[in-house]
Chain A
Amino acid sequence: MSSEDEFMSGMSSEEDDMLQGSDNDEGSVDDFGFDEPEPDLGYSQKDDVQAKKKSFDVNFKVFQPKDIQAQQDGLIDEVNMILDIRKEDAAILLRHFRWNKERLIEDYMDRPKKVLEAAGLGPSATGPPKLEIIRGFTCDICCEDEAGLQSFAMKCGHRFCVSCYNQYLSQKIKEEGEAARIQCPSDGCKRIIGARSLDLLVTADLRHRYHELLTRTYVEDKEHFKWCPAPDCENAIECGIKKKDLDKVVPTVACDCKHRFCFGCILADHQPAPCTLVKKWLKKCADDSETANWISANTKECPRCNSTIEKNGGCNHMTCRKCKHEFCWMCMGLWSEHGTSWYNCNRFEERSGSDARDAQAKSRISLERYLHYYNRYANHEQSAKLDKDIYNKTEKKMIQLQSASGMSWIEVQYLNSASQALQTCRQTLKWTYAFAFYLARNNLTEMFEDNQKDLEMAVEALSEMFEKNVTELAEQKLKVEIMDKTTYCNKRRIILLEDTADNLANGVWSWSTDF
């Protein structure tokens, strides 16, 4: 055997899973399906529906890195002053108490020695940390004993050479992402390495990472704080929603970076579906991905002439190039039947029990039912991406249009508003299908399905207008239509979300046990 890999082949990754438990489950599913913008209700701002707080909104506050640092520094200063201890120690104590200042002060007043001991600050001595050269010293970690070997010990007296300390800290900080609770390298010693000792022992890049991680622990330790999960975003959000509230609310928050996510599970906005449902749905989709894969594919066959049709915009109204057959991409049904009173593309027709006599038939029906919802869920996700592509292409053309038609930049912003409405509404629609999958029928489901249908029809209509070419878009008539439809879409979305949120808060939805 020559390498570690050979030695541990086939066991290490699985082993880690087993040993580390599953508390990291949440947020492991990357659901940044697309950059979902804030619902920019641009042209609808006159509507009072926008002005008042809606029942599906939660209170939250966005904090920039400098705000977070200032909050921490404030608490450290306070503890430093009240307890008359060094700032570095105050920071360690606060971290030990997970930034609960009141509890720290109370406990410290009662039993200072015990508190210091537990936080790894042991019996206190004086003097700043320093490197030393000790005659006859042998480092217990690397076994070096050469004269002039620089060494370091914290107040616990466990002394190691600087090079070992450096490697140890680098392992902890870089590999294990630890900062606030790095203990003395000696076996069983609970003494925690403070920032000042650390600064003495490591290189600048490691120091930087260490302080970054320390700042992170502040947010991670605070109950009502969460990091914005958007890549490269350094903001944190404060929101009062607790874990136990999550079956009553879907707490979507919006970071300053425009990313909208659920404060409960940090996945991208999944209103109206509650977190537990989302988790189950995503797991189901992952488990059944094989079966459902073909659906999200971007090509299908025309139901009439079987020629291959590629979907390159978000709109689900398809027209076969060859035979001109018009059909719905989602249900493959006639488009002429959509947009009328008998539109029921969103509704899964439960078949009567007599159809499902044997287990096989039942399982087929249950698969069909799942595929019905999954199909629509996946389609809206896909369509949102395609709508966005269209917008990006259109945006370029709009700039040309501006110069050609004499429209100002402001005047072409209606397309941006329309694009954002499409993204946001499709995100909502997408989750209504997961929601509907788990929804058990009662007298409220019809209302929900009607709302879903209305929103979906509005979105498809807007999406279709949106795909028109630039010359058509430049016409005043279409522009007004798009603006109206945009407003209407946003309104329908709000109506749907208010209805679902109210019923969720009142606990009147019932769920199928078929989770």
Chain B
Amino acid sequence: MALPKRIIKETERLMAEPVPGISAVPHGDNLRYFDVTIDGPESSPYNHGRYKLELFLPDDYPMTPPKVRFMTKIYHPNIDKLGRICLDVLKSNWSPALQIRTILLSIQALLGAPNPDDPLDPNVAKKWVDDPDDAIREAKVWTWKFGMDYLGFEERKKLRSDFPTMAKGDENYHRAKISDGTT
């Protein structure tokens, strides 16, 4: 099936005018499948994290929303272990006038403003309500652990002090990992 004009236009524009902090690159062999990265917003516990996502445009796109999923682990009340995202515009509030670009911006905004009232992961959401400080700390730990692969060792070391101390028992493990340059 030929690629619809709409998808071609959207892809061209994503390449020509990329959104700051977001990248979306279609696969050469499947132009409906995109490798996406989203940078964590500055004022959030995801700051300095760069999250990998996969995005797929189903056959009936744009009448139905794109399918999007986090590939990088993230501690967030609206994103579950499998990376599924609970976001209204990906579900009931989808409009065919929305685009890949707007969806990715909405996801970035969700990182900046978690919504524990509409949880996908009930445990994370409960923590977010009961003890927000601890939840944010945990989210930062996860950012440090899983979201910073893209940085070199030296860059990463500089940021170490921005991130909370791990729970006891964790610490040695991570120190060891960091010192040999892997995560």
Mark A residues whose CB is within 8 Å of B: 1-2, 4, 7-8, 11-12, 15, 18-19, 140-144, 158, 160, 164, 167-168, 171, 175, 185-189
Interface residues on B, range: 20 to 34
Q: Across chains A and B, which 6 residue pairs bring their CB atoms closest together, nearest first?
A: A187-B95, A171-B63, A7-B56, A143-B9, A141-B96, A143-B6
Taking the closest CB of chain B, its distance from the CB of A165, in whole angstroms, is: 10
Q: Contact check, A7 vs B96: say whether CB atoms are below 8 A apart.
A: no
Q: Mark B25-63, 1 if CB is under 8 A from A, else 0.
A: 001001001000000000000000000001010111011
Contact A187 B98 (CB under 8 A): yes
Is B127 in contact with chain A by the CB < 8 A criterion?
no
Residue B2 is within 8 A (CB to CB) of chain A in the complex = no
Query: How far apart sit A143 and B69, CA to CA, in the bound complex (Å)?
Result: 26
Whether B96 contacts A1 by the Cβ 8 Å rule is: no
- CB proximity of B25 to chain A, nearest CB, Å: 14
**Distance in Å from the Cβ of B63 to the closest Cβ of chain A?**
4
Q: Does B177 contact A (CB under 8 A)?
A: no
Contact B56 A8 (CB under 8 A): yes
Please judge, given known A-B contacts A4-B59, A167-B63, A186-B95, whether A19 and B33 are in contact too, CB under 8 Å.
no
| Residue B158 CB within 8 A of the other chain | no
Task: With a 10 A CB-CB cut-off, give which of B5, B6, B58, B97 has the most chain A CB atoms.
Answer: B97
- Among A2, A7, A168, the residue within 8 A (CB) of B63 is A168
A205 to B96 Cα, complex, angstroms: 23
Q: Which residues of B contact A19 (CB under 8 A)?
A: 86, 91, 120
A188 in contact with B96 given A7-B33, A19-B86, A171-B63 (CB within 8 Å): no
Q: State the Cβ distance, A66 to closest chain B Cβ, in Å.
A: 34
* Bound Cα distance from A160 to B69, whole angstroms: 30
Any A CB within 8 A of the CB of B113 = no
Selected from A143, A158, A168, the residue in CB contact (under 8 A) with B5 is A143
Q: Given A143-B9, A167-B63, A186-B95, decide whether A11 and B56 contact each other with a Cβ distance below 8 A.
A: no
The answer to whether B30 and A2 touch across the interface, beta carbons within 8 angstroms, is yes
Decide yes or no whether B64 CB sits under 8 A from chain A: yes
The answer on a CB contact under 8 Å between B56 and A1 is yes
Contacts of A189 in B (CB 8 A): 95
Which residues of chain A come closer than 8 Å to B73, judged between CB atoms? none
28 A-B Cβ contacts within 8 A?
A1-B27, A1-B30, A1-B56, A2-B30, A4-B56, A4-B58, A4-B59, A4-B67, A7-B33, A7-B56, A7-B67, A8-B69, A11-B82, A141-B62, A142-B6, A143-B5, A143-B8, A143-B9, A158-B97, A164-B96, A167-B60, A168-B63, A185-B95, A185-B96, A185-B97, A187-B95, A187-B102, A189-B95
